[in-house]
Amino acid sequence: MADGFLPINRTEMEERGLSQMDFVYVCGDAYVDHPSFGSAIISRVLESFGYSVGMLCQPDWRDPESITEFGEPRLGFLVSSGNMDSMVNHYTVSKKRRSQDAYSPGGETGMRPDYAVIVYCNLIRRTYKKTPIIIGGIEASLRRLGHYDYWSGKVRRSILLDSGADILAYGMGEKSIIEIADALNSGIRACDVTFVRGTVFKTRNADETEDAIRLPAFEEIKTDKRSYAKSFAIQYKNTDPFVAKRLAETYDGSLYVVQNPPQKPMTMQEMDDVYALPYMRAYHPSYEAQGGIPALKEVKFSLTSNRGCYGDCNFCALTFHEGRIVQARSHESILAEAKQCIEDPDFKGYIHDVGGPTAEFRKPACAKQLKAGACQHRKCLFPEPCPNLEVDHSDYLKLLRKLRNLPKVKKVFVRSGIRFDYVMADRNRTFLRELCQYHVSGQLRVAPEHISDNVLSKMGKPRVTVYNAFVKEFEKINRELDMKQFIVPYLMSSHPGSTLKDAIALAEYIKKLGYMPEQVQDFYPTPGTISTCMYYTGLDPETLKPVYVATNPHEKAMQRALIQYRDPKNYDLVKEALIREGRTDLIGFGKECLIPPRQIGGREKSRKNKGQGTDGKRQGAAAKPKAQSRKTTGTKHRPGTQNGKR
């Protein structure tokens, strides 16, 4: 047995003197015992409460025998797709198969099935007909009720029904899993575990829904987009643990899927306890010969400071999964983990990140959130910061100072992403100054996402004037520090509300910046977001007013091409978009033009007279933006919404 890791097979189980596990954890990811991986946290929490857990990671779903490695567990199977939804893990937004799976040995693809939670549960049920199955993780959490599934193009039932599982634990499940385990251990049947916060159960007993808000029936939301939007709005307003009600969704008139209110936020001590568990902070050594697990490299020397986010962007699933109330670890807990990193033989002096969904959030948005919850009918930062918002970077600053003063630490990076609107709401510029001076290495990645206020309003993001003010402040501070550092903006194309006109406006903005983004994220309609509801229904779920949605692949390609208008491969798409919108004034050789009248290079050869365009004029100015783009373009993948990051 690999010393310190949980058992991964029957041999390792027997080496521990066990003949039966309490739980068998079936996971779509390879086994990485690090607190950045949900499976590691849940399994270690269970172990700390005296329950044994066997890790059955990436079993062969085509072989029924693969699920029997540990035999039947005493209390039940735990099933998760892993750190990402299996469909997001497998497919790009254009539904093309990805070439790498960072959560599998050597980055190999094909190690888990599509819709992994459903497939694994059905595999279990073929052999173990009545053994309790508890599903959790991001895939189950965001599909807990009827939901639009982008990959099949239809509304699917609650994953609790399609999987055949008994209980669904949603959100961050440390508290829920122990309550479930204790209930099962006491002899309560899985079908009777209906009282745990942060869980979803199914029942045919209408009495168990008396105190619940009745959502539109599944048969209704499946065929009526307006009803779907209404249902989603009710769900979204019931994500706060202090004010949320029970929700019930009806199927075929007699079957109910019931969602209990979310778990209460973890205290700082509870957070510290979770991160103090004896993680090996490594992938299982059995993967070494295959090249290890690529996903660990990015997070191995990163420190989780917080969870939850009151930024509440419409395209992010965090509100549905972690909630809006920020919970944080103590400085002592984080420093203790940093010292573990320092002692690792692979540590080179660089802490890669200190943060969470939003780096600098270290406490709830206001004092009342821990008593009355987050407001149901307004956001903390959008469209303007709430008057009750407590803007304070001091605690995060103190933490960063302590970390960068640790022996053997050369640099502490902040890569989780900061909220530039929160920074601008702080009249004290000390945080921004120290961020520039100590925690940025040439490039600061921030996420304005767009510059059209029309689109930004559908994203739940601040107006472009806030971003522009932040850029000026950033540049001013860097001049004062005599540092040459640049902002790399993350941009998104084809978000609901974005028209070709908006995409052209974004291209003009980029032109003025002299910036050529190498990475553009097309809007990806994943379950559990307001934006996905808009995409499917064409309605704003809060107001039920129509929202323009670009669903035609060709128009989406044009919107994306406009952001990267300098790329010769995009010339035809950019020209078509400009002509379609009557913006031929942007086709030419003027200072404001995006493209020349004819493509230079690519399919059409430029004039033999080197350095001259089709009209014989010098084109040397075109080289300047290209040179600037090299300074400001980043290639690091932007964090995804699936693990509590963008």
Q: pLDDT of 561-584, one tens digit each?
A: 999 999 999 999 999 999 999 999
Which percentage of the chain shows pLDDT scores above 70?
92
Nearest one of 309, 369, 304 to 341, comparing CA atoms = 304
CATH number of 301-416: 3.30.750
Peptide bond into 383 cis (omega under 30): yes
Which percentage of the chain shows pLDDT scores above 90?
90
Beta-strand ranges (E) seen in 333-415 are 350-351, 353-355, 411-412
| Alpha-carbon distances, residue 26 vs 79, 153, 237 (angstroms) | 5, 28, 32
Q: What count of residues does the chain have? A: 646
Contact, 490 vs 633, CB < 8 A? no
pLDDT computed for residue 518 by the predictor: 75
Q: pLDDT of 3-45, one tens digit each?
A: 699 999 999 999 999 999 999 999 999 999 999 999 999 999 9
Token pair of 642, please?
Answer: 């699936």
Q: Is 301-416 the same fold as 10-193? A: no
Pairing type for strands 350-351 and 353-355 reads unpaired
Q: Does domain 442-646 have CATH number 3.30.750.200?
A: yes
pLDDT computed for residue 623 by the predictor: 32
pLDDT computed for residue 3 by the predictor: 65
Q: What is the chain's percent helix, strand, coil content, to nearest 5?
A: 40, 15, 50
Written as one string, the DSSP assignment of 472-501 is HHHHHHHHHTT---EEEEEEEES-TT--HH
Q: For the chain, give the mean pLDDT.
A: 92
Task: Please tell me what DSSP assigns to residue 213.
Answer: E
Cα 77 from Cα 164, distance rounded (Å)? 12
CB contact set of 295 (below 8 Å; sequence gap of 6+):
29, 32, 83, 102, 103
| Alpha-carbon distances, residue 92 vs 37, 98, 390, 511, 557 (angstroms) | 22, 6, 38, 27, 14
Higher-confidence residue: 637 or 242? 242
Cα 554 from Cα 552, distance rounded (Å)? 5
Distance of CA 346 to the CA centre of its chain: 27
Written as one string, the DSSP assignment of 260-312 is PPPPPPPPHHHHHHHHTS----EE-GGGGGGT--HHHHHHTTEEE-EE--S--
Contact, 320 vs 143, CB < 8 A? no
Q: pLDDT of 474-527, one tens digit each?
A: 999 999 999 999 999 999 999 999 999 999 999 999 999 888 887 789 999 999
pLDDT computed for residue 608 by the predictor: 37
pLDDT computed for residue 630 by the predictor: 30
pLDDT computed for residue 520 by the predictor: 85
Mean pLDDT, residues 185-196: 98
Q: pLDDT of 230-251, one tens digit each?
A: 999 999 999 999 999 999 999 9
pTM of the prediction? Answer: 0.91
pLDDT band at 441 (very low <50, low <70, confident <90, very high): confident
Domain ranges of the chain: 10-193, 301-416, 442-646
For the domain made up of 10-193, the CATH class stated in words is: alpha beta
